[in-house]
Amino acid sequence: MLTSTPTRPAHRAFRVSVKRVQRLSPSFVRITFHGDDLVDFGDEGLDQRIKIVLPTEATGYDSFPTSDDWYGEWRQLPDHERNSFRTYTARRIRRAEREVDVDFVSHGDTGPASAWANHAGVGDDMMLIGPDGTSGWTGSGIEWKPAGAATTLLAGDETAVPAISAILEQLPDDARGCAFLEVPTAADILDLTKPAGVDVHWLARDEASYGAPLIDAVRDWTSRYLTATHHGKPIDSATLADVDVDHDILWEVPQGRDLTGEFYAWLAGEAQAIKTLRRFLVSEVGIDRSQVAFMGYWRVGKAEM
């Protein structure tokens, strides 16, 4: 717990370069970034959010502001000088080696970050916005907060695989629960480290629609393993605030409640699928909404702002 308010922002810009490019599967490529000041990069792990800042065609990073108010200054830049950025998870952080791994979902050149990753080479410049380990802030950009829950459920599509993988690696040895990971094909199944008491199920989407295998699997698991022990009272769907995933951000992370001995769900991925799962768990099963963290990482047909 902090005893005083830090004087610097929790996140800042880090200038880095590509050190390694590793193809993990047809849909995943791991890029290792290196930079001297990564020695100060926050290394709490779990589902640590960072931003990948993409170079502009004309000026690279020459115009990107690196002050404490970088975002405010970035918004004031003319369009041709404003770097675009995308949100990712830091898959692994090695401060001693001054390295950060980021796993990119590769879907051709249809998006700017995927296109950059598909063509990245050793030595390429990059900029990360990440946690400043010397700022005094802790936990910024981390949404995994099970607060002592006895059973946990993690569910997400390929965009959530890096976060879920990092969380699984850091769970205590006695953790219990289940993780469902929906990926484009069976060739995208990766080797993961996890506690013995956590079951991991890979779901190959193949020709199914986004989120369909994930929704079906969570519904089936819940009916067999959770409803038998859970006695919550389902709430009326009308009382659960609706979110227009085509225009609004689907993101709610409960905080502050002690869940010792209870259940906790962490859901992330395509917004409509996550919205469906959240409504199922809260409105149909009766899980208290303070026990369900849900994050719409992306929406079919929509680019990140």
Tell me the one-letter amino acid at 209: S
Mean pLDDT for the stretch of residues 123-130: 96
Average pLDDT along the chain = 89
Residue 45, judged by CB atoms within 10 A of its CB (0-12, 13-18, 19+), counts as: middle
CATH-assigned architecture of domain 11-131: Beta Barrel (2.40)
Among 238, 217, 225, 222, smallest CA distance to 281 is for 222
Fold of 151-298: Rossmann fold (3.40.50)
pLDDT tens per residue across span 180-212: 999 999 999 999 999 999 999 999 999 999 999
Q: Is the pLDDT of residue 82 over 50?
A: yes
Residue 234: predicted pLDDT = 54
Q: What residue spans define the domains of the chain?
A: 11-131, 151-298
Q: Is the pLDDT of residue 2 over 90?
A: no
Which pTM value belongs to this model? 0.91
Residue 228: predicted pLDDT = 55
pLDDT tens per residue across span 211-247: 999 999 999 999 887 765 555 555 544 455 565 545 5
Residue 1: predicted pLDDT = 42
